[in-house]
Each structure stands twice: as structure tokens, then as C-alpha cells.
Amino acid sequence: MYKRILVPVDGSPTALRGLDEAVKLAKLTGAGIRLVHVLDQLVFVGGETYTIDVFGILKEAGERLMQEMKAKVVAAGIEVSTFVSEVLPGRVCDVVLEQAKAFEADVIVLGTHGRRGVGRLLVGSDAEQIVRLATVPVLLVRAPQGMAPAAGSSAAATATPVRVAA
């Protein structure tokens, strides 16, 4: 039975769908949730030079996001903790996997765009790496094809359980 659920969030509609599924699962199992947000500095640099002040703004936005997500989970009556990390030379998926181990997560619930083909090759997939390297089950919550609808919309997400050999 799941007692500890790890949920990476980045504020995207797809990540919010993952959080919604994690909340449902936590209610069913009595689990607690740890929210993880990774500030991937390399994504924001994009070949430009930014001052530390810009990163400070991004960090503050990440902290606000975590407080909003935490409030959502608390409102559902679920115990929650948060973790915010900065990634410089590493990968986002490595931080998520490290947190899964540190939190002793029983499952990782992850929103994914479900990119395929060229889109996946160009953008990469942290979800794919998490599934490949996780030592606990991963529940992928994939948004409908096309752009993910806004959080709270009536379009249904597809939850795909992925079994991972420990």
C-alpha cells in the first residue's frame, strides 16, 4: 500500500493533473505527499546571460508555486511536505530520483506531455528517465493529445501505471 507519494510539479497544466491524481491516490490510501519543484537554471539561460537577480525572481516564483500546491493538498486533508532544488550541471530527473529515495517514496506520480518522435528527441523527457531509473512504481498522468487543458477543466487525463522492477 502506498504511504508516501512523491509528486514533481512545475506549474504546468500537465503537472497539475499529476498532482490531482496523487491527491486522489492519497485519499484512497491514507498516504502523505511530498511535492518536488526543480529550478533548472539551464532551461532559463537559453544562451543568454542573466544576472543573479533574474534567478532570484525565478526562485521566488518556484517558492510561491510550492506554497499554492501545498495549500491545495492541505485543503484535501492530506499531510504534505515540499522540496525545492536548483539544478546546475545535473538533470532534473536526478533530483526527483534522489528525493524519491530520501523521502522513501512508495510511488512517484508524474504528469507528462507524452511527447513522441521528433518532439521527444528535441525536448527530451525527464518523465522517461524517471520511469527508466526509478526503483519504485511510477504513475504517469498524461494529458489528452495536443495542448494540455487548464487545471480544473472537464477534460479527463489518462493515468498510466508503469511497473518498475526494484
> What is the tally of helices (H) and strands (E) in the chain?
6, 6
Sequence spans of domains, the chain:
12-91+98-162
Q: If we measure between CA atoms, which residue out of 162, 44, 150 comes closest to residue 114?
A: 162
Distance of alpha carbon 149 from the chain centroid: 17
Average pLDDT rounded to a whole number, residues 18-24: 96
Percent of the chain with pLDDT over 70: 68
The predicted pLDDT at position 11 comes to 86
> Which residues in the chain belong to E strands, given as ranges?
4-8, 32-40, 80-87, 107-112, 138-142, 158-162
Q: What percent of the chain has pLDDT over 90?
A: 45
Sheet holding 4-8, edge to edge: 80-87, 32-40, 4-8, 107-112, 138-142, 158-162
- Tens digit of each residue's pLDDT (9 = 90 or more) over 32-81: 999 999 886 655 455 555 555 667 777 888 899 999 999 999 999 999 99
| Long-range CB contact pairs, 116-125, < 8 A, 24+ | none
**pTM for this model (two decimals):** 0.77
Secondary-structure class of domain 12-91+98-162 per CATH = alpha beta
